Structure 1
Amino acid sequence: MDELLTRLRAGLPADALITDPDVTASYAHDAASFCEAGAPAVVVLPRTVEEVQHVMRTATALRVPVVPQGARTGLSGGANASEGCVVLSLTRMDRILEINPVDRIAVVEPGVVNAALSRAVAEQGLSYPPDPSSWEMCTIGGNIGTASGGLCCVKYGVTAEYVLGLDVVLADGRLLTTGRRTAKGVAGYDLTRLFVGSEGTLGIVVRAILALRPKPPQQLVLAAEFPSAVAACDAVCAIMERGHTPSLLELMDRTTLQAVNRLGSMGLPETTEALLLAAFDTPDPAPDLAAVADLCTAAGATQVVPAEDAAESELLLQARRMSLTALEAVSSATMIDDVCVPRSQLAAMLDGTTAIAAKYDLTIGVCVHAGDGNTHPVVCFDHHDPDESRRARESFDAIMALGLELGGTITGEHGVGVLKKDWLARELGPVGVELQRSLRRAFDPLGILNPGKLF
């Protein structure tokens, strides 16, 4: 410990090191439940690439594990500390270095908050589409680490599709540059994509070149109430089958609606079993909204209400964004699942989740990126009750098993971290795991980068 601190201090300003155990303990966890974490030896908050390189060179020399962190809004334990590690918090590297309207790119440091970037590029008539529900808090580095998604993915895609290039500090302190600033480029292996979603196990992202799009028109939202989640899923399938491209297609079940109303007094319809939100951001969204309204009615919607203006649309989106927070307030603890299935299997996924909630006698609210088939079942439980905690964990696993049975994946955007390590092995199979471990060893032969995550 003494040697570690001595070497770190030789290349870092005094305010970049935190050793007070009461403070370092606050960096031990992200937002996930049921994920083990150790006590950090030290927390480092660098401001420059050179400081990150110094940390990694020191860690390599002393064989000390390093856990990179952003805002710790993750939901899989991917940013949890290892015992005696260096926590490398990148939140102070928060500069937007460039916004280029001609090339339609932004160059940013990893600590830039998603919403801050979105607002900055909007001032120049551009947009950065990926918008996780935690966009007011989560950082671009964290978004890259987990390959995060958001509400608009059905039309605009996920983080991986917007990362053009990266600067990455490797485990031994070397600086690697990947990718490009150009709209096209196929030179060599696509190392940029390899780092996106790697959860800090291959290197430390210290700069990112991000693709931007022209700022779209203000979207208008339609809300449709359904007597069952299955009917709402039938509407989703019809919307996609008919070729519509909504900018947003989100579903909330009754449990979620009630939770949102309790938290935010939103006045959402608590008697309905499912609420579907569909939005379009075309210059004239009226024809698309009318067509979707007809499809919802045909699928069994009891009421279809288009928003009258942008303010009413934003209110509905605010309700959807707060759904996870609202469900977290239902009980003393939650486990937030992240299973993505083919859209054609969405009704089976929701019906199966309802059956799992009944089997384990638990409250499980579900909010869904319906256009992507990405479900977020939220298991609510009392973590002071050992039996209820056990049932919560078993129900969580049952939901992931159901997703795989339906041809889906254990995570659409939250990552694997600690929470889903065993399930990743089941999804990838032995050959897939072997190859991915080999890749990891090639970048980090000493195994010091975010140990215990993914595999």
Structure 2
Amino acid sequence: MTASAALLNASANASTTHDDRLRASTDRSGYVPSTLPDGVIYAETADDVVNTMKLASAHQVPVVPRGAGTGLAAGAAAKAGEVVLDMSRMTRILHLDPVEQIAVVEPGVLNAAVNAAAAAHGLFYAPDPASTAICSIGGNIATNAGGMLCAKYGVTRESVLALRVVLPDGRMLRTGRETIKGVTGYDLNALMIGSEGTLGVVVEATLRLRPRPIQTATVAVYFPDVAAAARAASAIIAARVQPSVLELMDGPTLEAVDAAQGTNHRARGGAFLLAQTDGYGAALEQDVLIEAIQPFASSYEKAADTEHADALVATRREAIPALERMGRVSICDIGVPRNRLADVFAGLEDICRHTGVRIFNVAHAADGNLHPMIVVDPDESITEGPAKAALAEMFYLAKRLGGTLTGEHGVGLLKRDWLQDELGDISLELQRSIRNVFDPLGILNPGKAI
């Protein structure tokens, strides 16, 4: 009996069927493993995770933690010789305190479910990925996910107060605290967030909730081209306005959304900027924002009511599903200083021209985090050939502009080739040493992140 078989046989909720192994082998990154994992263990309680990791450690079986499978960097991809630890059945909201404004949840709870529970108390959970309806809190924590609201409210790390984490040897670690402030010891809570499942498996998270803004003002702005939209976004920042949402989409992406949704955004401009301001001064801030962008804009449309605002926000949220109708999508994740947005869009257009790769662009314009999306034919690879060459050029473009390889999706398997160039030898050595302290056997999500 193999080590993987021994682990799977000892687990009450294990599966080795082809369909389960195929489903658990990859995520939404477009990455296709050459082989399938040996099996899947479905955790239903924290004890299931503890027992799995104890057995995995004893048998030295590589384990790949998995949430909802919505990751975009192949961080949950698994192959032969590995066992997937699926957390999607741990979906309880254990406690919600509207006075302290915290929620204690299991890792399989969907981001949208947390917000639905919080909304009943006039609260919300700020990290807001475009995949909010289908992504899990555990996966958000693994990648330090951001989203449309993060420019004002911060990414996941700013909204997770405490964690319970099962270490690779099965021990339970508690990190953080339920107070807003606390500096006792090293910040292991922050270390865990964004570690891509390489240091431990999250089984419980204490989340910080926030009061829902008393007002939100929404405006959609159309521009002749993406360069004008990028300059407008920079002008908004220069005007000292802090929008809660500032999302930019280029013309090709608008065309894809129009084709999927039956809308007519592309006819109104070559680029689209969605902006929201919130709080008691939402309308006043919106006036300043509109004044800042008018020299660059072709037209703008204020939301008249909540339903109208939701329809405008849906334009941005539908970008990825619309592109997935066109072929296999690789959603990239570079970040640049906010004043270099126009430069990075120009560079991306150049990459598209000389590689022949189709690239569609959306961006969290308020924090300089762009998502250039490569679309290839369904049977075409994203990990070799022109698609990989375009991905490499995107990274080097971001690096030349003072930016980064990934803003919120993580490294996973897809981006490890360029870690050395961004981090350097000393940083990589230290990070790998930290990983070895937590996982000396190297069994937890091997080959990912660093």
Residue 362 and residue 5 in structure 1: after superposition, are their counterparts in 2 closer, same or farther (change >3 A)? closer
Aligned to 1:32: 29
1:211 aligned onto 2:201: no
Contact 1:220/1:310 (CA < 8 Å) preserved in 2?
A: no
Equivalent runs, 1:399-418 vs 2, <5 Å: 399-418=394-413
Residue 43 and residue 387 in structure 1: after superposition, are their counterparts in 2 closer, same or farther (change >3 A)? closer
Aligned to 1:267: 264
Unaligned runs of 5+ in 2: none
Aligned to 1:199: 196
Contact 1:335/1:396 (CA < 8 Å) preserved in 2?
A: no
1:237 aligned onto 2:239: no
1:447 aligned onto 2:442: yes
1:374 aligned onto 2:369: yes
Contact 1:220/1:309 (CA < 8 Å) preserved in 2?
A: no
1:359 to 321, 336, 354: 354
Aligned to 2:187: 190
2:316 to 293, 311, 320: 320
Contact 1:35/1:76 (CA < 8 Å) preserved in 2?
A: no
Offset, 1:272: 1.4
Offset, 1:310: 1.3
Match of 1:270, SS?
helix
Q: Return the TM-score normalized by structure 1.
A: 0.95
Residue 122 and residue 243 in structure 1: after superposition, are their counterparts in 2 closer, same or farther (change >3 A)? same
Q: Distance in 1 between matches of 2:91 and 2:317?
A: 24
Equivalent runs, 1:21-420 vs 2, <5 Å: 21-34=18-31, 36=33, 38-298=35-295, 300-330=296-326, 332-384=327-379, 390-420=385-415
Q: Distance in 1 between matches of 2:174 and 2:35?
A: 32
Unaligned runs of 5+ in 1: none
Offset, 1:23: 2.2
Offset, 1:126: 1.0
Q: CA RMSD in A?
A: 1.7
Equivalent pairs counted in the alignment come to: 450
Q: Distance in 2 between matches of 1:34 and 1:183?
A: 39
Aligned residues with identical type, % of pairs: 45
Contact 1:289/1:306 (CA < 8 Å) preserved in 2?
A: no
Q: Distance in 2 between matches of 1:388 and 1:191?
A: 33
Match of 1:286, SS?
helix
Contact 2:4/2:81 (CA < 8 Å) preserved in 1?
A: no
Cα deviation, 1:143-176, whole Å, max 9, x if unaligned, reads 0000000111111111010111110000100000
Cα deviation, 1:347-371, whole Å, max 9, x if unaligned, reads 1000100111111123211011000
Offset, 1:284: 4.5
Contact 1:37/1:80 (CA < 8 Å) preserved in 2?
A: no
Q: Distance in 1 between matches of 2:83 and 2:384?
A: 31
Match of 1:352, SS?
helix
Q: Return the TM-score normalized by structure 2.
A: 0.96
Cα deviation, 1:40-90, whole Å, max 9, x if unaligned, reads 112111111111111001001111000000011001000001322110000
